Each structure stands twice: as C-alpha cells, then as structure tokens.
Amino acid sequence: MLLNYNLNVNIEKRLSVIIPVYNEEDTVLGIVERVLARPETGEIIIVDDASKDNTREKLETLKGKENITILYQETNHGKGAAVIRGIAEATREFVIIQDADFEYNPEDYPLVLSPLAANKADVVYGSRFMGTPGQVRYFRHEMGNKVLTFISNLFSDIHLTDMETCYKAFRREVVQNLNLDSQRFGIEVEFTAKLAKSRMLRIWEVPISYNPRKYNEGKKITWKDGVSAFYQIVKYNVFSNKDEFYKEPWEKVLATETK
C-alpha cells in the first residue's frame, strides 16, 4: 500500500481539525464523534456559518468538552469564510479540513498526515480519484471535478488528480501564511493556486476513500459553483497580484522545518 514506509510515524494529538458547518443537524455530532475518536486529533475547531436548522442546538451539547472550540458566524458567508476563520484559530502542528457530513472518513487521517509527519511534504491532498474503491458516484459531478482539476493544472502547472477535494492537510505555519479571501467553495481553487505559485512547497497526493452523499441528503455544491470555480481559477492564476498571496516570504516560513 502507498506510503506504508511511514504510516507508523507518531502523529498522536498533533492535528487541528477544522469543521465548517452549515445546516448539518443530522450529521454534525456523528462526524465530531468520529474525529474525536482519532488519536491524531489534538483539537477540533467547529465554525457554524449561521445555520438555519437545529445545528446550533446540536453544537451547544458539545460546549465545555476538552479540545473543542465552537465559533459562530452571525451571517452566512460560505464554506471559505468558515475555513479561513478556523485556520486562524488552529494551534497544532498540522491542520486538516473536515466536512461535517460522512463523505470523508477520518480513518484516512494517518495516510493523509504521514507525508507531513515524515517531513516529506508541506501540503497533502487526499484524492478521491486515484483508484480507491467506494460507492458509485454521480458521473456529471465527477467529470465536472476532473475538468476543473485539469484546467487548474494547466494554469498552476502542478499535476493534481483532485483539486476540489475537502481533505487538504497542511503544516500549520504553511496554511497560516496564506492570505485567503474566498467566501464560498472557491476556497479550494484559491488554496491550489496560491500553494502552487510558491514554487517552493512540497505538495503530495494520496488516495482516500469517499462516500458521496445525495442532494436530498444535503449536498450543497451545484453547477453554479463549478462556473464560479472556473472564474476563480483564472482570477487567482492570471489576474491576481502574486506578491499579496503570502504574509511572509516562504524562505522565512520554511526555515523552521530545518531547525
């Protein structure tokens, strides 16, 4: 199995898990339970993006639990805004984004985190499209993801198989060095463009499992987000000022790895 050589690297309690939440009353407590059960989890940062269902009431039952931080957005801004807020609060060595449903399985954390813990990578993408077994997916949705990934690859000049994946894991100092501003699902494009343009970061991909939920189960991304993603690819790769992508020069940030 890929990366067997470093799956035994100690990553216990070294992970900050950011969970953006919007109208996930049926799944949020279940996914938090799964994340808490992982030995890698050092802290969970939940950002509720002004849910309109009973999500907030469910989250209130978690108050006071050790290593869980719950933040509330008073106005709905989108997944990107929630992720950005969570990143600012992260304190552990590694950071991963976890959706609040069951599409992505926390049992994949060791595989995603191992290149980071072994100091082989600065960023790891968990790819749904690297031949892993799983439930049959929506054809148009998967093809849309692959087309966007292909276009992103053309502009960013890095070869990914799954740019839109939720499972992106980072060294904390790396992700906190990014100036991020995407409010909705464009955050995935923004991550990729800004990470790629550094030309210094070690970016890995590993295969992950994937259990796609149906639209009647609360899936939120639509064709409109695909159109927006294409716009964001052009925006960040062509028309944005690269000097404003980062807070500090990468030479300074990455120097901490060799100390």
Q: In this predicted structure, what is the pLDDT of residue 140? A: 77
Q: Counting beta carbons within 10 angstroms of the beta carbon of residue 229, is it exposed (0 to 12), middle (13 to 18) or buried (19 or more)?
A: buried
Angle at 133 between CA 131 and CA 138, to 5 degrees: 85
Residue 2: band (very low, low, confident or very high) from pLDDT cuts 50, 70, 90: very low
pLDDT in tens, 128-167: 988 766 666 667 778 888 999 999 999 999 999 999 999 9
Q: Give domain status of residue 158, yes or no.
A: yes
Q: In this predicted structure, what is the pLDDT of residue 68? A: 97
Q: Give domain status of residue 5, yes or no.
A: no
Q: Phi and psi at residue 18, in whole multiples of 5°?
A: -100, 125
Q: Residue 246 forms beta bridges with which residues? A: 178
Q: Phi and psi at residue 15, in whole multiples of 5°?
A: -115, 130
Number of domain units in the chain = 1
Residues in the chain: 259
Range 19-39 average pLDDT: 97
pTM as predicted: 0.90
Range 187-199 average pLDDT: 95
Helical (H) or strand (E) element with 28: helix 28-36
Helices (H), the chain: 28-36, 55-60, 79-89, 109-117, 139-156, 172-175, 187-197, 223-234, 250-254
DSSP secondary structure string, 53-82? Answer: SSHHHHHHTTTT-TTEEEEE-SS---HHHH
Q: In this predicted structure, what is the pLDDT of residue 59? A: 97
Q: In this predicted structure, what is the pLDDT of residue 141? A: 74
Nearest to 129 by CA among 118, 139, 117, 116: 139
Q: In this predicted structure, what is the pLDDT of residue 130? A: 87
Q: In this predicted structure, what is the pLDDT of residue 214? A: 58
Amino acid at 55: T
pLDDT in tens, 60-92: 999 989 999 999 999 999 999 999 999 999 999
228 pLDDT exceeds 90?
A: no
Residue 239: band (very low, low, confident or very high) from pLDDT cuts 50, 70, 90: confident
CATH (domain of 184): 3.90.550.10
Residue 259: band (very low, low, confident or very high) from pLDDT cuts 50, 70, 90: low
Structure tokens at 43: 């802290």
Q: Give domain status of residue 4, yes or no.
A: no
Q: In this predicted structure, what is the pLDDT of residue 219? A: 54
1 pLDDT exceeds 50?
A: no
Q: Give domain status of residue 83, yes or no.
A: yes
Q: Would strands 168-171 and 123-127 be described as parallel, antiparallel, or unpaired?
A: antiparallel
The mean pLDDT value of the chain amounts to 90
Q: In this predicted structure, what is the pLDDT of residue 133? A: 66
Q: Give domain status of residue 170, yes or no.
A: yes
Look up the domain containing 96 and give its range: 10-258
208 pLDDT exceeds 60?
A: yes
Q: In this predicted structure, what is the pLDDT of residue 143? A: 85
Q: Give domain status of residue 61, yes or no.
A: yes
* C-alpha to C-alpha distance for 246 and 111, rounded to whole angstroms: 28
